Amino acid sequence: MASQFRLGLKGKMSLLLALLLVFIVTCLSVLVLRGIRDNQRTMLEQSFSRQAEAANLRVREEYLSESKIPPDRFMEQTGQRLAVDLGAQSGMAVTLYTADGAFAGTSLPFQSKADVQDALQYTAQGHSAYITQGDQLLFLAPLYNADQRLGTVQFHATLVEQNAFYARICQLFILAGATVLGVGFLIGYVYVRRQVNVIDRLNKAAVQIGQGEYLLTLPIVRKDELGELAQGIYEMSGSISASVGALHEEKQKLIETVGRLRELEQQQKQFIGNISHELKTPLTSIIAYADLLTMYSDDPALLDDAGRRIHAEAQRLYSLVEKALQLSAMDVYEFETRAESVSLRPLLEEAAARLQGKADSCGVTIHTSLVEGEVWADPENVMHIMLNLLDNAIKYNRPGGQVRLLNYVAASAEGAQRMRIEVADTGIGIPKEAVSRIFDPFYTVSRDRSRASGGTGLGLALVRNLTEKQGGTVQLVETGPSGSRLRVELLLHAGDSNKTIYTADDEGADS
């Protein structure tokens, strides 16, 4: 199976650095070494030119001092001697040739076997020539007397020293090159490693963000482009986190809304089922009494009884329909609730007054203990709430019992100032098992008892709905065999929220 080899940034940069260093060191070495070689050559050429000039001078002097003989003869006769002289003078082995290229003499103990014919032809044209053979260098230069060619002088030089020097320099360069390469690569590698580590950290930060772990601090602090990139990633993380948070919040709200809608739908279904059932009961009674009326139209006692019962059932039907309409209208026409500043004391007095007749007929006394105060609510709704609570307090009371209505400002559970209205009675109380359900629509503790008192099971449901619509709360504070106490909390009108807390004991007298 082919291995998935992947050359990382660190590897690539290191390789690039190594190649770059090798290239630079090689270029530098080649250039410097070539310079050295050229320099050696120029110095050698200059030295040979000087030697050649000196040799030419010496041969010309000798030639001019001789009685006029042709140059070839001159060279043949004096070549050997002159070669030895010139060898001693220059410190190099010297060989002389005639202008035709024939051997004329040498300072060497033997005759050189080097093939110099091409070079001799070249010097015949007036040029100097070089021939290298291993460590040996032959330099050939023409000899002149004015325009007349006398022959050719050949110097034998050894390159051993130059070559040894060049080899030493080469070694030095290889050593220096290797050192530069090694140290340079090491420094470069450490630097590249540090940069790549920084990139690795940024990469990890990006992966972290991808997994939903947003950055709390900058991944790296630097004053260069990588630092700017880190800052960018950090800010991006912040805005993603904020957007995701907002999205999550929206989603949560949506889930809650859907849940609430389902709940509402369920409640509506239950409500329709209940109301149909509740409407059927009084209607069945009315039909039954109507039948009796037609069957026994001559019985005055029955007529009277049936008439009263039909009236009572029709009354119950009426109040049932009215409350059901109010309840359903609240869900549908929510915007119709109009909050305003409501002066509470007169409103509560009015509510108590409206139920005074009912209280009298039930033998119940209403006491009020009221303080001034403005609430922010719909006055119609507050009136409905109070009428229902007072109605219950009278209905579920005992003959000779009492109802107490009071209001005061106090801090709510959240610590904000609220207006509290309490309705307490000395009635029959609510059984423990029913306490959690009394605010449910159509819930009645005892169907017979409610029916007897004209109850529908919708009163407290209406109260709760209305209070919550005002931004308030309603709760059963206490209940027992000696009575119950229900409390409504409403928003204070802004102007009143800073008022001192009043309690029922501070102000107001029983009426």
CB of residue 367 vs ligand ADP: minimum separation in angstroms?
15
Q: 300 to 359, contacts with ligand ADP by CB under 6 A?
A: none
Task: Determine, following the binding rule CB under 6 A, whether residue 444 of this chain makes contact with ligand ADP.
Answer: yes
CB of residue 209 vs ligand ADP: minimum separation in angstroms?
55
Alpha-helix runs per DSSP H in 296-437: 300-332, 344-354, 356-362, 379-395
Is 285 or 450 the residue whose CB approaches ligand ADP more closely?
Answer: 450
CB of residue 261 vs ligand ADP: minimum separation in angstroms?
25
Task: Determine, following the binding rule CB under 6 A, whether residue 443 of this chain makes contact with ligand ADP.
Answer: yes
How far apart are the C-alpha atoms of 278 and 285, rounded to whole Å?
A: 12
Task: Determine, following the binding rule CB under 6 A, whether residue 278 of this chain makes contact with ligand ADP.
Answer: no
Counting residues that bind ligand ADP (by CB under 6 A) gives 21
Is 89 or 356 the residue whose CB approaches ligand ADP more closely?
Answer: 356
Is 114 or 434 the residue whose CB approaches ligand ADP more closely?
Answer: 434
Q: Amino acid identity, residue 302?
A: L
Calculated CA dihedral for residues 378, 384, 386, 392, nearest 10 degrees? -160
Select from 416, 414, 395, 394 the least CA-distant residue to 405.
394
Is 87 or 457 the residue whose CB approaches ligand ADP more closely?
Answer: 457
From 107-115, 255-263, 358-366, 421-429, span contacting ligand ADP (CB under 6 A): 421-429
From 231-239, 331-339, 392-400, 499-507, span contacting ligand ADP (CB under 6 A): 392-400
The separation between CA 478 and the C-alpha centre of its own chain, rounded to angstroms, equals 53
Task: Determine, following the binding rule CB under 6 A, whether residue 460 of this chain makes contact with ligand ADP.
Answer: yes
How far apart are the C-alpha atoms of 227 and 240, rounded to whole Å?
A: 20
Of the candidates 278, 425, 489, 496, which one interacts with ligand ADP according to CB under 6 A? 425
CB of residue 323 vs ligand ADP: minimum separation in angstroms?
8
From 160-168, 202-210, 270-278, 426-434, span contacting ligand ADP (CB under 6 A): 426-434
From 171-179, 192-200, 232-240, 423-431, span contacting ligand ADP (CB under 6 A): 423-431
Is 144 or 443 the residue whose CB approaches ligand ADP more closely?
Answer: 443
CB 86 within 8 A of CB 107: yes
Task: Determine, following the binding rule CB under 6 A, whether residue 438 of this chain makes contact with ligand ADP.
Answer: yes
Q: Are strands 136-145 and 340-343 parallel, antiparallel or unpaired?
A: unpaired
The residue assigned the tokens 């209001």 is 407
| DSSP-assigned states of every residue in 47-79 | HHHHHHHHHHHHHHHHHHHS-S--HHHHHHHHH
Task: Determine, following the binding rule CB under 6 A, whether residue 396 of this chain makes contact with ligand ADP.
Answer: yes
Is 351 or 409 the residue whose CB approaches ligand ADP more closely?
Answer: 351
Is 196 or 438 the residue whose CB approaches ligand ADP more closely?
Answer: 438
CB of residue 388 vs ligand ADP: minimum separation in angstroms?
6
Q: Are strands 402-411 and 417-425 parallel, antiparallel or unpaired?
A: antiparallel
Task: Determine, following the binding rule CB under 6 A, whether residue 459 of this chain makes contact with ligand ADP.
Answer: yes
Of the candidates 427, 491, 496, 504, which one interacts with ligand ADP according to CB under 6 A? 427
Contacts 24+ apart (CB under 8 A), 76-79: 76/102, 76/104, 78/105, 79/103, 79/104, 79/105, 79/151
∠ CA 453-455-457, rounded to 5°: 150
Sign of CA dihedral 171, 177, 178, 179: positive
Of the candidates 92, 150, 393, 405, which one interacts with ligand ADP according to CB under 6 A? 393
Helix (H) or strand (E) segment spanning residue 102: none
Q: 37 to 66, contacts with ligand ADP by CB under 6 A?
A: none
Of the candidates 392, 426, 465, 467, which one interacts with ligand ADP according to CB under 6 A? 392
How far apart are the C-alpha atoms of 191 and 185, rounded to whole Å?
A: 10
How far apart are the C-alpha atoms of 134 and 132, rounded to whole Å?
A: 6
Select from 435, 486, 441, 476 the least CA-distant residue to 459.
441
The separation between CA 81 and the C-alpha centre of its own chain, rounded to angstroms, equals 99
From 31-39, 236-244, 377-385, 455-463, span contacting ligand ADP (CB under 6 A): 455-463
Is 25 or 460 the residue whose CB approaches ligand ADP more closely?
Answer: 460
469 phi, psi to nearest 5 deg: -65, -30
From 81-89, 120-128, 134-142, 388-396, span contacting ligand ADP (CB under 6 A): 388-396
Of the candidates 355, 377, 484, 493, which one interacts with ligand ADP according to CB under 6 A? 484
Hey, which residues does 170 pair with through a beta bridge?
A: none
Which residues contact ligand ADP (rule: CB under 6 A)? 392-393, 396, 425, 427-430, 438, 443-445, 450, 455-461, 484
